[in-house]
Structure 1
Amino acid sequence: MGGGGALSDYARRHLIDRLRERPGVHVLLAFVDDLPAGLAICMEGFSTFACRPLLNIHDFAVLPQFRGQGVARDLLAAVEEKARTLSCCKITLEVLEGNTPARQLYQAIGFEGYELNPALGKAVFLQKKLAATLEGER
């Protein structure tokens, strides 16, 4: 689902090289009968509260023809295995409110809203977009 649109021309041309330049990026691919079926692009972060690394699932997708076959569940299990090998304290991700199938899967395998203090409620994900600064990045 994501943003609902295709990658920009700039992203299509440079994404793989830019990911390779970043330490702490882990790309996990799922295949069904030697056909690409899904991917998880994860990025290492750090929890100051736990004083341990964490793994954020930044991008997660399963191609439509492979949905409902356990590919997402298997891919998430592989992400968890990677996080454990890195001694991560947790795995984080963001999901759109309206993506009910994904939310149900995430909750079924143990993901829940981030909450430090029940009286203050769950965390909200915010962003501030910055103007494009790289040549050709639009």
Structure 2
Amino acid sequence: MSEPYIRPARSADEEELALLDRAAWSTLHAVSPRPEPPYPPFFGERHPPGEFLVAELDGRIAGYVRIMQPIPLASHAHVLAIQGFAVAQEARGRGIGRALIRAAVAEARARGARRLTLRVLGHNTPARKLYESEGFAVEGVLPGEFLLDGAYVDDVCMGRAV
């Protein structure tokens, strides 16, 4: 089994990332409606390629993580956030998610951040366990923040020092 190769995203990755993102959509982690045609571009002014790291496995993109400054103020420049994370269904269980989270922590550190934060739905147990195993701690919970599939779901705020 080959190891994932993590690299910065390139503009040429857009179509493959868009397909992966749509295929990975689930109410386990998504709060917006299922994407429908016409699909918006994956990259754009608000989501440039420079915010993404991608995982390649056997020459194909198998996942991505998006790291950005959530509040664009100088006083908040020391905090980065994971705001987008997906692993292709066929690549799950092969360490891709863990490699992407570790790469996100290293990237945040390289960009001079002191903290890395994220939000995860309360019912997303696999993701929460992964984040906790990589040093993220629950820093707050917004109870019943989203109504998904007829049930109210907590929004869990997590963070860690980098």
Q: Same fold (TM over 0.5)?
A: yes
SS of the residue corresponding to residue 122 of structure 2 reads coil
1:6 deviates by: 2.9
Identity of aligned residues (%): 28
CA deviations over 1:46-70 (Å, ceiling 9, x no partner)? 599x865211111111111111110
1:14, distance to aligned residue in structure 2 (A)? 3.3
The normalised TM-score by structure 2 is 0.60
Deviation by residue 1:14-67 (Cα, 9 ceiling, x = unmatched)? 34123239xxx611111111111101112114599x865211111111111111
Shift of 1:5: 4.3
TM-score (ref. length: structure 1) = 0.70
Do the aligned residues in 1 keep the contact of 2:69 with 2:77 (CA within 8 Å)?
Answer: no
Structure 1: tracts of 5 or more residues without a match: 115-121, 128-138
Runs of 4+ in 1 over 4 A off after TM superposition: none
- Cα-Cα RMSD: 2.8
Residue 93 of structure 2 corresponds to: 68
1:110 is the counterpart of 2:135:
yes
> Is the 2:102–2:134 contact (alpha carbons within 8 Å) kept by the matching residues of 1?
no
- Matching residue's letter, 2:55: A
From 43, 56, 66, give the equivalent of 1:31.
56
Whole-angstrom distance in 2 between the partners of 1:17 and 1:51 = 23
Partner of 2:149: none
Structure 2 unmatched ranges of 5 or more: 1-28, 147-162
